[in-house]
Structure formats: structure tokens, C-alpha cells
Amino acid sequence: MVERRMFARLKMRIPLKFLIHTNDKIGDAETVDISATGVGLVTREDLPVKTPLELWLKLPDHHDPIHVLGKVVWSQDLGDDTQKRVGVQLSEERLLDLGRIWLFKEIKPDTDHPSP
């Protein structure tokens, strides 16, 4: 399968709150991965494709949460009927927010090229 994404995905666990615009329901989730154009998340809520969402990602940097708008582009059960894996396409690219998120990405040391 050919990779069509323009931006790399960062595998990160970030707690978030979301608002479902169609029924004003608020829910909790956690990111699995994130890029400048989308968020992969896990939640207990049923989020059908095309559901418009408002998301607030809470980073541990003591600043305001990152606020983004998007819509669900895919959703699947994770097998136990209690959790769903969901893909959300953001309504606009969020490069500056991605930079803020990158600060919290766990960077592993390069074992192939040890420092002198």
C-alpha cells in the first residue's frame, strides 16, 4: 500500500476531551498517533464516520489545551465492544501545534551511533 500522508505521524498518548457537534455530547479519549492533519484516537464513545468533532488535547506543559476541529473519517471496534479506534481528519493543518507536541515526544537514544 502506498503511503499518501504528507506529514509524519507521531505515536503519542495524549488525553483529550471532545465535543460531538451533532448532539452536544462531551467525551474522553486518548490519542494513539497525531500529525499536522489528523489524529488517531481510542475512545469508548461510538463515533460514526462524518461525525464533526471539536477536540481539546491536554499536554503536560501547563498551557491551555490544543483546540482543533475535525471530522471522523474511519472508526472500528477494538474487539471487546467497549473501545473504538477512530481516525479524525483535522479541518486545517496545525504545524505550530505539532511543534509543541513534538517537545513531549519521547526521543530514544541512537544506539547505532553512540556519542563520542
* CA Rg value for the chain: 15
Domain-located, residue 112? no
Residue 111 within a domain:
no
pTM as predicted = 0.76
Asked if pLDDT for residue 92 goes beyond 80, the answer is no
Domain encompassing residue 85: 10-102
Q: What is the CATH number of the domain that holds 92?
A: 2.40.10.220
Quick: pLDDT tens for 24-82. 999 999 999 988 888 999 999 999 999 999 999 988 777 788 888 999 999 999 887 78
Residue 107 domain-assigned (yes or no): no
What DSSP designation does 106 have? P
Spatial contact of 12 and 43, defined as CB atoms under 8 Å apart = no
